[in-house]
Structures are given as C-alpha cells and as structure tokens.
A and B are shown apart, each in its own frame.
Chain A
Amino acid sequence: MQQRVKEKALELLRNGTVDRVIGWKTGEFFYDLTPAVFETAEEIEKDFVFSGFSGANLSKYAIAQSRAAGKTAIFLKPCDSYSFQQLLKEHRILRENIYIVGIACEGMLDMEKIRAAGCEGVVSVKENGEELIVETLYGDRTLSRKDCLLERCAVCKSKKVVIFDEMLGEQGDEQETARFDRVAELEAMTPEERFAFWRGELSRCIRCNACRNVCPACSCEKCVFDNDKSGVRNKAAADPFEENLFHIIRAFHVAGRCTDCGECSRVCPQNIPLHLLNRKFIKDINELYGTYQAGADMETKSPLTDFTTDDCEPSIVHERGGVK
C-alpha cells in the first residue's frame, strides 16, 4: 500500500489529471509525518511518504487548495473522508477542483504507544501485516500492530470511504465500536470525581491551539478566540475557568459537525483526551435526537440546525443521572 499510494500520486501528476497533490512528507523524524502540497514529480519522488504514521487528516487542506488554479488530488483515509464530506456539505470545498483517492486503512500508529511498550532509541518501524518490526539502537523488537494503534483507530468506527473518485485497496464497512465506553465511565462518576478528573486533564493545557487549528470542522476564517474583546486571554493556564471555557466552547462549536476523526487528541502535545468532550456531545445527540454521524451523507440535517416540536426539555440533564 505504501508504494501504491506514492505511485498513484506520481501517476496523477504525470498524466496531467491534477496539478498538485496533497499528501504527507517526513518531518523532523520518520514518525513525524506532516501534511504537504506537492506540485512536481521530483518533490514527490523525494519527500512523499505514506506509512502507518500518516495519521494526519488532509481534508482541511482541501478548503484552500480547491480554490487554487487547476485541479488538486487528495488522499483520504476512511475517517478523513467523513470530514471531507462534512466540509463539502457546508459548502467549504469546491468539489469540481478536487480529485479524491480513497485509501483503505488498517489503522494508524501511535509513536507514544510504541515507546510505552519499552522501545527506546527507535530508528525505524517496518510494517509487516499484523506485526511491527521496530528497529532500535539496542536491537530489533517485534510488536503487535493492534497494540500500537492511535486511540481513534483502536475504536475505529468505520472503514468505509464515503466519498471518492478512485479507491486504492478494498472498500470497508461501518463497524460496531466501543468508542463511547470511556465517556460512559466518566458519566457514572460523581460530579466531584468528574470535576477532579477534568481539572487534572485540562490544567495541563498550554493553549497552543493545536486542537483548534488541526480540526477539520473548525474552519472559520475568524475564530471567536481570536477576538481581543472576547474576555479570553488566549494564554496558557490563566486560571481554571479559562481552560474550561476554551474547551467547552471549542467542543460546542463543532457539536453536530464533529465526525470524531480524533485529530484533536492526536496533535495535543499534552496528551489531553480532548476527543472525550466531542464524543460526549455525539453520545448525547445520538441518545436524545437519534443516531447521527456527521459527514456520513450529504442530505441529513445537522442535529443543532434542526428540531422537532417534541424534543426533550433541558431539565432532562438533571433528571437523567438522578438527583445529585
């Protein structure tokens, strides 16, 4: 697959189907792949990489690139395709300027988990089916791929690429997952425990805004948090209130549009489980207003821009878990 993706990128550029390709290139380290736009075959030959570390969701880059002259090819893994379709639904992407290559996905890797498995001084990681051969300064190690997946891949919701012009590999299906288990666990705690849990997590926030900038659903030209008069300082750890406010509002602004692609948690330098906030909204929406998956299709109305006359009252929140 790794070679096929690169060859496809070269082929599309050489035969003139597209003028540029959005893909991944190596960053400072081999596991640190960053999104990049390639305009020549030479650049692709030199820098283009697709591997288990190509976790980055490219769909957001299509917003700007679809407005550039000519056509752009983009590679979408299943979860990225949901984000792409959601952006398309919101009229953020000019579809006619984009050529989509869907990629079948076996789950992306998390370097933190490889390190946690006791691998120090990792030089390279070779993917061999269900096995990972980790080459370190102290000799080779073999790990199981499924133990080293990103959190979102370990509870993958769908292997289906929902929108594509061409598909590399087998099309998959939506699947049952345990992705709401952690949210349910937290819901079962007392408010005091939950407050302590979130203080512990959110007090680590350094307000680098990576979660906001990477989020495909967060694509406003001007963000509320960039407003000097918003009363939010946009600085690290001013006090507990601001951390709460930032994360509540960030998650709220993408509620009903978040496809649960998990990018927010993947990029967080402080490893805050931000996806739990988004999933809480998704879980609530599913329970209160019917199952909804953002980006799964082009027609269904988003739950927050829709209503029924017999919706539940907000007091349901206080009744649901008993009186506390």
Chain B
Amino acid sequence: MSVNEQFQPTIVAFCCNWCSYAGADLSGTNRLQYPANVKIIRIPCSCRLNPMFILRAFQRGADGVILCGCHPGDCHYTTGNYYARRRMTLLFSMLDFMGIERGRTRVEWVSAAEGAKFAATMNEFVETITKLGPNRRLEDLRCSKE
C-alpha cells in the first residue's frame, strides 16, 4: 500500500444519510478536493453505527475510522446522534484504554450545508492518520494486504 514510498492510509468514513452524506455531495459539487483515501459508507443515522462496525473496519484494513453525523439537535430522527455521541465517547475511551492510538477514531458533526467543512475535516484526518502510520494494533493478520 505504498505509492512512491509514501504511506497511503485507508480511511473509512461513516456518514449519516441526511446531513453528512449530503455534505460530502456538496463538497463534490463545489469541486472541493479531499483525498481519495477516504471511503464513504452511508448509514441511515449516526446512531446506526454499531461499535462492531468500527472494529470490523479496522480488521479489514482501515487505518482510521471517522463518523460524521448531523449536528446535535439537528438529527433527522430527533435524538439519534445524542445516543451515538454517548456510545462513541465510551467506545473511544475503551480503545484508548486498550492502548490503541488516540486519533485513529473520530466523530465530526457535518451538516448538509457544510461541504467545505467536510473536505477540510477529511484533509486533516488523512493527514493525522498518515502521521500515525499503518494500523498495527487492531489489524487482523488474515486480512492483511501485504
């Protein structure tokens, strides 16, 4: 997975259908660039994100996982992202407790109007993960790419 000797991370972005996925769309229509390392997976609501999805993403070779959802208070289903916020806080804290590098996981609230924020967030996140290097602590050797 190295192009010109430079490490290219794989990033999985879970985007809620109503805000962040539309936000990603908007950044596209506005021709704002963000790295191709980001693979977007659309979910109905940020609250749909089962903690197992994040771990599975790491298992299958992701180096970073980011969850994007509607801003708290703006959830299409009224309260979904509030629950997601508590769950992700606890999960990230547990990953940190197990010694997984901080910064490999992130939550960002991106509305449908924030195409620029989406692109900026992804640029920044890819940069962070590139610095952190490949995910070694939560990888499944059987799914290894090399």
Contact = CB atoms under 8 A, between A and B. Distances in A.
The answer to whether A and B assemble together is yes
Given A248-B55, A252-B51, A313-B107, A241 B96 contact: no
B98 A244 contact: yes
A214 B82 CA distance: 32
B99 A193 contact: yes
B79 to A, nearest CB: 7
B31 to A, nearest CB: 29
Nearest to B72: A309
A267 interface: no
Contact of B100 (A191, A224, A239, A255): A191
Assign chain A's interface to a size class. 35 or more
B102 A195 contact: no
B131 interface: no
B73 interface: yes
A19 B65 CA distance: 54
Interface stretch (A4-12, A47-55, A86-94, A281-289): A281-289
A221 interface: no
Interface stretch (B9-17, B19-27, B111-119, B136-144): B136-144
B87 A304 contact: yes
A3 B89 CA distance: 48
Contacts of B86: 289, 303-304, 307, 311
Contact of B82 (A231, A242, A285, A311): A311
A278 to B, nearest CB: 10
A9 to B, nearest CB: 41
B52 interface: yes
Interface string B93-126: 1111111111101110000000000000000000
13 contacts: A187-B97, A195-B98, A196-B99, A239-B142, A241-B58, A241-B138, A241-B141, A248-B95, A249-B51, A307-B86, A311-B89, A313-B85, A317-B89
Interface of A: 183, 186-187, 191-198, 224, 230-231, 238-239, 241-242, 244-245, 248-249, 251-252, 255, 277, 280-281, 284-285, 288-289, 303-305, 307-309, 311-318, 321, 323-324
